[in-house]
Amino acid sequence: MIARAIVLAALRRIRHGSLTVVEGSHRHELGSGEPHAMVHVGSPEAWTALLRGSRGLAESYAAGHWDSPDPVAVIRVAARNAGALDRARRAIAPLREPLQRMTPRNTPWRSRQDIAAHYDLGNELFGLMLDSTMMYSSAYFEHADMTLEEASLAKLELVCDKLDLGPDDHVLEIGTGWGGFAVHAALARGCRVTTTTISREQRAYTLARVHAAGVADRVAVLDQDYRDLRGRYDKLASIEMIEAVGHKDFGTFFARCADLLVPGGAMLLQAITIDDRAYAVERSSRTSFIRTHIFPNGCLPSLEVIARNVADRTDMTLVHMEDFGLDYAETLRRWRANVERDPERLAGLGYDQRFRRMWRMYLCYCEAGFTERRIGVAQLLLAKPGWRPPAQRQRGSSRVGSPP
Q: For residue 193, what are the β-bridge partners?
A: 171, 219
Report the distance separating Cα 199 and Cα 118, nearest Å: 9
SS (H, E, C) the chain: CHHHHHHHHHHCCCCCEEEEEEECCEEEEEEECCCEEEEEECCCHHHHHHCCHHHHHHHHHHCCCEECCCHHHHHHHHHHCCHHHHHHHHHHHHHHHHHHHHCCCCCHHHHHHHHHHHHCCCHHHHHHHCCCCCCCCCCCCCCCCCCHHHHHHHHHHHHHHHHCCCCCCEEEEECCCCCHHHHHHHHHHCCEEEEECCCHHHHHHHHHHHHHHCCCCCEEEECCCHHHCCCCEEEEEEECCHHHCCHHHHHHHHHHHHHCEEEEEEEEEEEEEECHHHHHHHHHCCCCHHHHHHCCCCCCCCHHHHHHHHHHHCCCEEEEEEECHHHHHHHHHHHHHHHHHCHHHHHHCCCCHHHHHHHHHHHHHHHHHHHCCCEEEEEEEEECCCCCCCCCCCCCCECCCCCC
Q: For the chain, state the CA radius of gyration.
A: 22
Residue 366 is among the residues annotated as catalytic for this protein: yes
Residues 6+ apart with CB under 8 A from 311: none
Residues 6+ apart with CB under 8 A from 172: 193, 194, 195, 196, 229, 231, 233, 235, 236, 237, 260
Active site residues: 366
